[in-house]
Amino acid sequence: MSTSERKLHLNAFIRGAGHHEAAWRHPDTHPELSLDIQHFIQLAQTAERGLLDSLFLADGYVGKTNKLEPFTFLSALAAVTRHIGLIATVNTTYNEPFHIARKFASLDHISHGRAGWNIVTGSGSAEANFGRDEHPEHSLRYETAEEFVEVTKQLWDSWEDDALVYDKQSGTQFAHGKVHEINFKGKYYSVKGPLNIPRPPQGYPVLVQAGSSESGKELAARTAEVIFTAQQTFADGKAFYTDVKSRLAKYGRTPEQLHILPGISPILADTEAEAREIERELDNLIDTTDAVKRLSSRFGVDLSEYPIDGPVPLHEAKELEEVNGNKSRHQLVIDLVRNENLTIRQLVQRLAGARGHLTFTGTPLQMADVMEHWFKNGAADGFNVMPQLYPSGLDVFVEQVIPELQNRGLFRTAYEGQTLRENLGLVRPANLHQIPNLAVKQS
């Protein structure tokens, strides 16, 4: 596809009152609506009015999150939207392939082909909530995840696309020989199958991956169709983009089969001065004591013992090999401190905006400039949009940034298809049982 034909792909990352950690305290937000589905219906319909590709709900199994369970949440949104994709984070470490295959197939059927799975291995230590003694080591989690995804795909393929016939005259509901046991026996999973629901409308829900560690990039190159990533600078974004795209060929894939969407977290206003004032308001609402505690946990050292306006003691931070959670985010924070020589307070403020994703404060026109630069110069196929304030940040993005991108010929003026795959320009995967010489061995 030529540069002139390419269009940005945009996802809205849904998060309660917004992506700034103090958003819930800002007068323009309504944190009491964090469990109110009507609030999220309005956000979803705003994003769909802006022709965004998808919505994304992150999820985890530890901490006080005050958020709805993703399958229930997205199924409710599916009923009141028509085009926008619905992406959920689901952890491979504390789930079983059969359950996840069934739930995503259900969501894809409910939404008529708009489901997406953000595949994570779990950066939080949730073992105590699942009767385990310890959180699996990083490389083991990724090795297990690869097998988990393979089992899940085979379960989706256990029903051929034309398995349902509903022939009333003959009394035949299912075509003979079109529903298969998978009899998968691997290193970590043993699954007989078949799945107890027909193949999803998209074949597979769109497969998304969010890890940027070495293991994460390799998993993405092998299996993902979209990557959500955190990159602080254009140079870092371009290096990541080039690296991951260069890995695709060894798996028989082309660059067009994987969309890389860096996170961008904006504060937008009619003038840059007004946007900076909103930024100051939010930074003044940060609970610095709590933020330093979280940073201390990340670094493995009590930062409260150091002057808050003094330098971050990088010499005390955990080495990367000591981190058994999100390795790429840990390295990003270390690099950020080292490159910008930040104080502890400055680091708290930088991370408050979007937990390490690129933040932007300015006008809609300026934001369009940044997005165009990354898109046209090999650092992004689009963006994971993370407004620091909801709903106002999404409203401004849809009403002012989207029209500017359309005027520049960078973004669609209508949805191209009915499914998330169609709108992302991704091919519907063929059923393995219907590909000559590639069929999974039938029972």
Which residues lie below 8 Å from residue 238, measured CB to CB, with a gap of 6+? 377, 378, 379
pLDDT, tens only, 129-169: 998 888 888 889 989 999 999 999 999 999 999 999 999 99
> What average pLDDT does the chain have?
91
pLDDT at 424 over 90: yes
Q: What is the pLDDT of residue 328?
A: 66
Lowest mean pLDDT among 161-175, 391-405, 409-423: 161-175
Banded model confidence at residue 441, pLDDT cuts 50, 70, 90: very low
- What domains are there in the chain, each with its CATH number? 9-267+356-434 (3.20.20.30)
Interval 417-442 mean pLDDT: 83
Neighbours of 256 (CB within 10 A): 14
Cα(231)–Cα(242) distance, rounded to whole angstroms? 13
Give phi and psi for 40, each to the nearest 5: -75, -30
pTM (predicted TM-score): 0.91
Q: Provide the pLDDT for residue 79.
A: 98
- Roughly how many angstroms between the first and final C-alpha of the chain, as a whole number? 42
82-130 pLDDT, tens digit each: 999 999 999 999 999 999 999 999 999 999 999 999 999 886 678 889 9
pLDDT at position 332 is 74
pLDDT at residue 351, as a whole number: 85
pLDDT, one tens digit per residue, over 175-204 is: 989 999 999 999 999 999 999 999 999 999
Is residue 274 within 8 A of residue 364, CB to CB? The reply is no
> Residue 334: what pLDDT?
79
